[in-house]
Chain A
Amino acid sequence: MTLLQWTILLLVAVVAPGVVLSRDPKEQVVTLSFYGLLCGLMFFIFQAPDVALSQITIGAVMLPLMIMLALTKMRRQNIRRKREAKR
């Protein structure tokens, strides 16, 4: 294995616990997105450009986006419920 491959494997190994250790869902989305980007880079360095493209589009863009949208939806539902309870 080359130095580049070792470096990216090490980076993925360092960032992965970072995703788990960030407790706030909003922080987690950002770290997850960064982790997805690193995974895509790893697939690219290991000569799998097809998988790298899928990983970047899904892991770094769509998955964090869907989590964000779901969090927004939940937050708004909570606001509405509180307002209805006040009335």
Chain B
Amino acid sequence: MSSRSRVVLFLVSAAGLAAIFAWGFRDLPPMGDYRGPYGYALTQVAVYERHATDVVNAINYDYRGFDTLEEEFILFASVMGVLLIFRPAKGGKGDDDEKKKRQTQIDDDLPISDSLRVSMQGMAGIMIVFGVYIAAHGQLTPGGGFQGGVILASVPLVVYLSGNWRAFEQIISNPLVKIAECGGAAGYAVIGISALFFGAHFLTNIVPLGVTGDPFSAGTIALISLSVGAEVTGGFVLLMHVYLQEIIEERLGKKS
């Protein structure tokens, strides 16, 4: 196909797409126009029924909690898939080989500036507090377990940027990471199943709801938010671990 005919083909199909686009836009309702009854109904009843001031999370973790359970397990399964692909190969090479590799690869290390080192070390503590706050206040303010978990998972990375590789290695290879990943994923399902023992449906909010606006209110919404936070933190830190494993081992000069 010559370049001229390619341009003609592009212009014809682009014109067709533009026509369909304009046709579709013609009858679009104005911005902010919402015609479904479900959203209005939920914003009316969520605070009374679930004592949660963040209706988005009341929907995510309670009214449509089953969908979020599936989403959480999608994340869990994809993290497991990456771990499976990057699992350490059996039967490593000899020691001399390892040393040679280390000497030749160490040359792409870049020195870390002092300003980066100081600012990143100061950031780590603030980020831990912020991540836990976001995850624990899911039922009150925007945020929730997923966002809080991702913030917490980026803390080890800040430690890595500060050049403290030993601390980074200790954080990401800690067995607690795996426990958080599996415990968080299982916790969601266990919270759902425990409703069955009280004669209610799966994922019914059976925990006392507490006072609206209290950090420990809204029953299972707060608990599910915390368990999702643990799962997401564990998942992303595990991913970082498999990607950075060999670099860390080289930097520390560790024998594998």
Residues of A within 8 A of B (CB): 1, 49-50, 52-54, 57-58, 61-62, 65-66, 69-70, 72-73, 76, 79-80, 83
Q: CA–CA, A57 to B157, complex, Å? A: 14
Q: Is the interface of B mostly helix, strand, loop or mixed?
A: helix
With A53-B142, A69-B240 in contact, is A62–B150 under 8 Å at CB?
yes
Contact with A along B139-163 (1 / 0, CB 8 A): 0001110110011011001000000
Q: CA–CA, A69 to B236, complex, Å? A: 12
A-B contact pairs, 29 of them (CB 8 A): A1-B31, A50-B54, A50-B56, A50-B57, A50-B144, A50-B147, A52-B142, A53-B143, A53-B147, A54-B146, A54-B147, A57-B147, A57-B154, A61-B154, A62-B150, A62-B154, A62-B236, A65-B154, A66-B239, A69-B239, A69-B240, A69-B243, A69-B244, A70-B243, A72-B247, A73-B243, A76-B105, A80-B101, A83-B104
Q: Is B230 an interface residue (CB 8 A)?
A: no
With A58-B150, A65-B157, A76-B105 in contact, is A49–B142 under 8 Å at CB?
yes
Task: Say how far A21's CB is from chain B's closest CB, in angstroms.
Answer: 17
Q: CA–CA, A69 to B240, complex, Å? A: 8
With A57-B150, A65-B157, A83-B104 in contact, is A50–B243 under 8 Å at CB?
no
Q: Is B134 an interface residue (CB 8 A)?
A: yes
Q: Is B246 an interface residue (CB 8 A)?
A: yes
**Most interface-central of B31, B240, B243, B244 (chain A CB within 10 A):** B243
- Contact partners of B54 in chain A: CB under 8 A: 50
Task: Say how far A63's CB is from chain B's closest CB, in angstroms.
Answer: 11
Interface set, chain B 202-253, CB cutoff 8 A to A: 236, 239-240, 243-244, 246-247
Q: Is the interface of A mostly helix, strand, loop or mixed?
A: helix
- Contact partners of A65 in chain B: CB under 8 A: 154, 157
- Contact partners of A54 in chain B: CB under 8 A: 146-147
Task: Say how far A20's CB is from chain B's closest CB, in angstroms.
Answer: 15
Q: CA–CA, A33 to B4, complex, Å? A: 36
Pairs A-B, 4 closest by C-beta atoms: A49-B142, A69-B243, A57-B150, A50-B56
- Contact partners of B143 in chain A: CB under 8 A: 50, 53
- Contact partners of A73 in chain B: CB under 8 A: 243
Contact with A along B110-143 (1 / 0, CB 8 A): 0000000000000000000000001000000011
Task: Say how far B39's CB is from chain A's closest CB, in angstroms.
Answer: 13
Q: CA–CA, A62 to B143, complex, Å? A: 16
Task: Say how far B17's CB is from chain A's closest CB, in angstroms.
Answer: 16
With A53-B142, A58-B150, A65-B157 in contact, is A72–B243 under 8 Å at CB?
yes
Task: Say how far A86's CB is from chain B's closest CB, in angstroms.
Answer: 11
Interface set, chain B 67-124, CB cutoff 8 A to A: 101, 104-105
- Contact partners of B151 in chain A: CB under 8 A: 57
Q: CA–CA, A65 to B244, complex, Å? A: 12
Q: CA–CA, A79 to B31, complex, Å? A: 53
Interface set, chain B 154-194, CB cutoff 8 A to A: 154, 157
